[in-house]
Amino acid sequence: MAGFFTRPELEDRQFKQLSGSTLTLSGETNFVGVLKSKGVEIDATITTGTSIGDVLSWDGSRIILSPSTGGGGGQEYTGGTPSNITVGGMPAGTTLTGRTLSSIIEEILITTLNPTIVAPSNSFVENVANTHEVGTIIPSITFTSGFNQESITPLYDNTGTQIAPTVPRSGPASSYNYTGAQIAGVADPSAVKVATNYKMLLNANQWSSAVNYDASPYTAYDSSGGLYASALPAGTTGAQTVTLTGRYLRFYGASAITPVNSAQVRALPQSEYQTANVNTFILNTGSVLTKFVVALPPSRTINTAYDLDALNAPMPYAFIGTITVNDGGGLGDPHSYNLYELVIGAPYSSNHRHQITTA
């Protein structure tokens, strides 16, 4: 007798299995409808996005398949890689409730890195000594402007991928803005300027340079792809200044004569720049002459004078009048200097040091 296939129609009926018996289902059993256990729905549907380590969990109304929030041994990490900080990147007080294990581990091991940005900078230098006598004619002064585009390190794109170890922060220099005698000008194309036959003025003689630069094509992102700094537009650096200082010289030392003109003053054996109203200096007497002369720049006077080699005995330098002294190495403009003199009866047996302070 041939076999036959039956498909019983099960309506809303309750079936009771005999106590102590076993119901064995072989093959694959699919529940197309709703599967319940003691009235609780069980939904283990496999959908896109599930992964190894997902578990059945209670959502308040049914049992569903979802990512694990626990620390089960089979849970697979699916966050960012590789780690980029020493373990311990999560700050105290971070909320953990309701988060997946994967997100917690990722926050511990993966932090957002910001690029290092250095703003463009400039320099400005000259090629002569910083201090000169007032009235000195300097044949040539070369001024050189420098520019550094500086950097973004490293460069990430908007996906957080590093695409270059470093790139310039700004575009290249386009022109220069200068101030100061003989070189003043805006948007000058030259990085090198020269002043010729410049006459040194008293105190500060200043020149400055600022650099105009082009826009940068590089936007700075962080390692998560977030915007960190917009591309730098065209701009101008701050001004850099160089200063040459003009000073009067003071002249002093042992002398066979009392000077009566500029050349004789400038021929005294010692000279120094008068850098402030109050200066202290040492006049060396030697052991030959008995006259000691001090010629001080305009408005400067002797306040005190002591012999360091005679128990700091006061030295009575006398003001004997003013004398005209030409600046600029003796070839420049005339100035009225104050002339002081000390005469002793016989030469010192050895050099003495007269410590003189001006006012």
Predicted local confidence at residue 118, as pLDDT: 98
Do 308 and 191 belong to one domain? no
CA distance 120 to 238: 10
**Residue 71 pLDDT exceeds 50:** no
> Looking at residues 159-164, what average pLDDT do you find?
96
pLDDT at 103: 83
d(CA 59, CA 227) in angstroms, rounded, equals: 37
Question: Can you tell me the mean pLDDT for 189-207?
Answer: 98
More confident residue, 183 or 31: 183
State the pLDDT at residue 332.
97
Cα distance between residue 331 and residue 62, in whole Å = 105
Model pTM above 0.85: no
Residue 77 within any structural domain of the chain: yes
Q: Determine the pLDDT at residue 2.
A: 53
On whether both 163 and 74 belong to a single domain, the answer is no
Examine residue 82 and say whether the peptide bond preceding it is cis (omega within 30 degrees of 0). Answer: yes
Q: Is residue 164 part of a domain?
A: yes
Which has more confidence, 60 or 174?
174
Token couple for 283: 């006049």
Strands 240-247 and 131-133: parallel
Please indicate, yes or no, whether residues 235 and 124 belong to a single structural domain of this protein: yes
Q: If you average pLDDT over every residue of the chain, what do you get?
A: 89
Q: Please state the rounded mean pLDDT for residues 244-253.
A: 98
Domain membership flag for residue 156: yes
Do 74 and 176 reside in the same domain of the chain? Answer: no
Of 111, 130, 159, which marks where a domain is finished? 111
Residue pair 308/355 in contact (Cβ under 8 Å)? The answer is yes
Judgement on whether residues 135 and 177 belong to the same structural domain of the protein: yes
Question: Which pLDDT score, from 0 to 100, does residue 91 have?
Answer: 83
Instruction: Answer whether residue 231 is part of any domain.
Output: yes
In a domain, 332, yes or no: yes
Residue 34 lies in a domain: no
Give 61's contacts (C-beta < 8 A, 6+ positions apart).
Answer: 41
Query: CB of 253 within 8 A of CB of 268?
Result: yes
3 state SS of 101: helix
Which residues on neighbouring strands pair with residue 151, listed in sequence order?
118
Q: Clarify whether residues 260 and 200 are in a common domain.
A: no
List the domain range (segments joined by +) for residue 124.
117-246
Q: In this structure, how many other beta carbons lie within 10 angstroms of the beta carbon of residue 205?
A: 20
Considering the domain architecture, whether residues 239 and 123 belong to the same structural domain is answered as yes
Q: Into how many domains does the chain fold?
A: 3
pLDDT at 152: 98
For residue 281, is it within any domain?
A: yes
Question: From CA 297, how far away is CA 322, in angstroms rounded?
Answer: 10
* pLDDT beyond 90 at 75: no
Residue at a domain's end among 111, 142, 163: 111
Cα–Cα distance for residue pair 251/247, rounded to 1 Å: 13
Instruction: Tell me what pLDDT residue 73 has.
Output: 46
**Sign of the CA dihedral 113, 119, 120, 124?**
negative
- The predicted pLDDT at position 58 comes to 75
Backbone angles phi, psi at 231, to 5 degrees: -60, 140
User: Which of 62, 16, 67 lies closest to 36 in space, CA to CA?
Assistant: 62
Q: Out of 104-113, 188-197, 200-209, 236-245, pick the least confident.
A: 104-113
Contacts of 45 (CB under 8 A, 6+ apart): 65
Give percent above pLDDT 70 in the chain: 87
Asked whether residue 76 carries a pLDDT value surpassing 90, the answer given is no
| Average pLDDT of the segment spanning 214-225 | 97
Digit-coded pLDDT (tens) for 2-57: 555 555 555 655 556 677 777 676 777 776 777 777 778 877 665 545 666 667 77
- Return the number of other C-beta atoms located less than 10 Å from residue 196's C-beta: 10
pLDDT of res. 14: 59
State yes or no: pLDDT of 86 exceeds 60.
Answer: yes
H or E element at residue 41: strand 40-43
In a domain, 297, yes or no: yes
d(CA 266, CA 253): 11
pLDDT at 72: 46
Same domain? For 233 and 268 the reply is: no
**Do 146 and 241 fall into the same domain?**
yes
Helix, strand, coil percentages for the chain (3-state, nearest 5): 5, 40, 55
Same-domain status, 106 and 123: no
Mean pLDDT, rounded, for 187-206:
98
Specify the residue for token string 């959502």: 59
Residues 264 and 305 in one domain: yes
Verify that 144 and 132 share a domain, yes or no. yes
Name the helix (H) or strand (E) containing 174.
strand 173-179
pLDDT of 274 > 80? The answer is: yes
* Domain boundary, last residue among 246, 281, 306: 246
Mean pLDDT within 301-306: 98
